[in-house]
Structures are given as structure tokens and as C-alpha cells.
Amino acid sequence: MRLQFAAVTFATALLALTSSAAVALERKVQINNQTSFTIVEFYASNTGTADWQEDILGSDVLPAGGSVVINIDDGSGYCKFDFLAVFDDGDELVSSDNNVCELDEFNFTN
């Protein structure tokens, strides 16, 4: 009986550790606008989707030279995301396959 209890306890502890490791992956990325234009829309969608989802900035903008920290976590567990920035002059920049679990900063440059 003790051996069975110890095995269940060990299995429970192991499950908790592996679950918390997946949750512990940090997906906060500082987005730096190193262009001379304002970013008026910013999208980040995991590489497994064909949809850009919603504009993360909402009614805010990211001015030239500005930075913002964004939690790029859509609940899917994915680490690879594509970024789309739409600028006030109408131009768009796409950056594909960004690993937000390892990336601390991302620079949009012209």
C-alpha cells in the first residue's frame, strides 16, 4: 500500500512539474518601433493560423522611436508567431516565425 501511495504521489508531482514548465514559458516581447512612422495596428498570430486575429494595440498607437511590451500568448501553447505592423502611411511589414518563448525584443526597422 505504501509503495502504491508513493507512486501516485510521484506521478502527481511529475505531472505538476511538466504542466508548470509549459505554463512558465514567457511570451512577453518588447516591440520597438525603430522606423520613422507610427505603427497604428499590430497583429501577432501563431504560425498555425491563417488569420491575423485582432489588432493588439486597439485604439493605441506605437509612435516612431517608441516601445511597448506585449504578452503574445493566445492560449494555444504555441511559441512561433508571425507579426504584422501597419504604419500610418499605409505600409505594412510582416515578420514570420518569431519564437516568442525565447524572444525578449523585436525591432521594426525601415
| More confidently predicted of 93 and 13 | 93
What residue segments make up the domains of the chain, in order of their start? 25-109
> Taking 80 as the threshold, does the pLDDT of residue 6 lie above it?
no
Q: Which of 19, 3, 28, 40 is nearest to 81 (CA)?
A: 28
Q: Of 19, 43, 39, nearest to 96 (Cα)?
A: 43
The arithmetic mean of pLDDT across residues 40-48, rounded, is 94
Q: What is the pLDDT of residues 85-98, one digit of tens each?
A: 999 999 999 999 99
How confident is the prediction for the chain on average, in pLDDT?
85
CA–CA distances in Å: residue 56 to residues 9, 28, 60, 63: 42, 13, 9, 15
The CATH number of 25-109 is which of 3.10.129.10, 3.40.50.2000, 3.60.150.10, 2.60.40.2890? Answer: 2.60.40.2890
> Cα dist. 64→1, 44, 68, 76, 101 in Å?
66, 19, 12, 31, 26
Range with the poorest average pLDDT among 20-24, 80-84, 101-105:
20-24
Residue of 81, 97, 73 whose CA lies nearest to 25: 73
Provide the whole-model pTM: 0.76
